[in-house]
Structure 1
């Protein structure tokens, strides 16, 4: 075991604090990563505050990890010391079920292992990327292509794949009329990726405050959902709607914006239920679906896609001692558009 510096939540009701955590020794199939940057995802806040169920504390969150390979195990063939790499929301799965064999590790039938707050195969509780180092099985380590800086690459490991996967799965491309609901950490990546795929992109946000940003990110149109006329004007306008909002919204109002055979996909994960009226689906043969992250191969595909199109996330880099402030700002939607922790600012072990 090795001791590394980290930030952790002592409980669901206390601020995160500087601490140390233990990482396992590098095994034959493991990669030790010197973490350089870690993104802050809204999921981190939901998890450490117990909004998605109870957790074992202390807990170090973070599943948007970018860094450099510092050591590899004797059997590792996919990565070498010095490689630029990332780790997303998964660090293990059974590797044997039909989902894993199909490259859908996020849907592992025997239970995948999340990057933090999950029970790993050895029975330990995983700890995430708000730390200086992490040890991960090589099969769950992604290569970050040249052309994407590590700081803007970190949020791609969750926000990027969470939006890329449904856009690809439902065949978004040239000629597709896409609406992105919410222009936040997820939404801004949805706009970038949908635009790069060749779709006609509309942002649906509560106000027009971020309209200039949305158009710069690649949106063709921008409407305020706080204006009731928006829902009248845009009725039946979209082939695909991606809802990135992590709060309860009137799903039925948005479903009516879909064209015949249109699909609305939820990637935001509010704690509250989202009631759906059957007639909102029946009229127009519409579909309401959900999507998680992507598998490892698709996540690598996403990273390569972003590199080919020359973009990463829009970020604000913070020091580790600003994490709690950043959490409150995320809840106020006061970030454009993802906080990223510079892990060089973590207190040294023993300091």
Structure 2
């Protein structure tokens, strides 16, 4: 059972079965490990599912807590990465994370120009977008994978999938085996999430910081009691 649902979520120590314990790389700090064990595995799993390699072209929709980790992982794998964001102020940050291109996710002409290019597009947002240009941006045999819990149904014309041998899938988090692979890869590749540190006594301020959309890009709480 996840720690957050069991006793010990804010404890210094807790007991767990050995088969559920994930060893951390020696060069990884706890502030980086926490987000990787949540958002990190959420975006890493699709890369394993769809056999992404260094020659893959991958798009990431949404550059927040999930999307920014996806970009860093894909860059470390050697992929060509395109970030889709509705926030122009993030462009330089996203390029520094390893994205090769940044595209306005609400610009229909920019999206149309990308038709047939991507082996995989990962959606990390839960807002409703015009999804058709993203489906058409997939190459033959490409996959649109959502980890964002979009609140409205995704309208998918059957011919869009049939004509391009495309597919749509989704996933939540990963297995202990996949977590171990992620931690080994992140440690070896020195992939770390971008975090902001708040003291536990500032938890209300931290929550408001996230609600205001100001988090860059994962908030970590440090015990000060």
3-state secondary structure, aligned to 1:281: helix
Structure with larger RCO (C-alpha < 8 A, sep 6+): 2
Separation in 2 of the partners of 1:264 and 1:204?
14
What are the Cα deviations for residues 228-285 of structure 1, in whole angstroms up to 9, with x where unaligned? Answer: 2211111222111011113333333311111111101111123443333323322312
Rg larger for: 1
1:334 equivalent to 2:214? Answer yes
Higher strand share: 1
Question: 1:187 and 1:130, CA in 2 relative to 1: closer, same or farther beyond 3 A?
Answer: farther
Aligned partner of 1:211 among 68, 77, 91: 91
Question: 1:251 and 1:127, CA in 2 relative to 1: closer, same or farther beyond 3 A?
Answer: farther
Give the deviation of 1:308 after TM superposition. Answer: 0.4
3-state secondary structure, aligned to 2:145: strand
Aligned partner of 1:278 among 155, 158, 161: 158
Aligned partner of 2:144 among 248, 258, 264: 264
Please report the RMSD computed on the Cα atoms of aligned residues, expressed in angstroms.
1.9
Give the deviation of 1:318 after TM superposition. Answer: 0.7
Separation in 1 of the partners of 2:14 and 2:108?
48
Q: Which segments of 5 or more consecutive residues in structure 1 lack a partner in the other structure?
A: 1-90, 92-113, 118-125
Q: What is residue 304 of structure 1 aligned with on the other side?
A: 184
Q: What is residue 182 of structure 1 aligned with on the other side?
A: 62
3-state secondary structure, aligned to 2:16: strand
Q: Is the 8 A contact 2:76 2:191 kept in 1?
A: no
Q: Is the 8 A contact 1:207 1:223 kept in 2?
A: no
Q: What is residue 239 of structure 1 aligned with on the other side?
A: 119
Separation in 1 of the partners of 2:76 and 2:221?
27
Separation in 1 of the partners of 2:82 and 2:212?
23
Separation in 1 of the partners of 2:139 and 2:115?
8
Q: Is the 8 A contact 1:208 1:223 kept in 2?
A: no
Higher helix share: 2
Q: Which segments of 5 or more consecutive residues in structure 2 lack a partner in the other structure?
A: none
Q: Bigger CA drift: 168-177 or 268-277? A: 268-277
Aligned partner of 2:193 among 303, 309, 313: 313
Question: 1:274 and 1:323, CA in 2 relative to 1: closer, same or farther beyond 3 A?
Answer: farther
Give the deviation of 1:198 after TM superposition. Answer: 1.4
Q: How many residues align?
A: 225
Aligned partner of 2:81 among 187, 193, 201: 201
3-state secondary structure, aligned to 2:180: helix
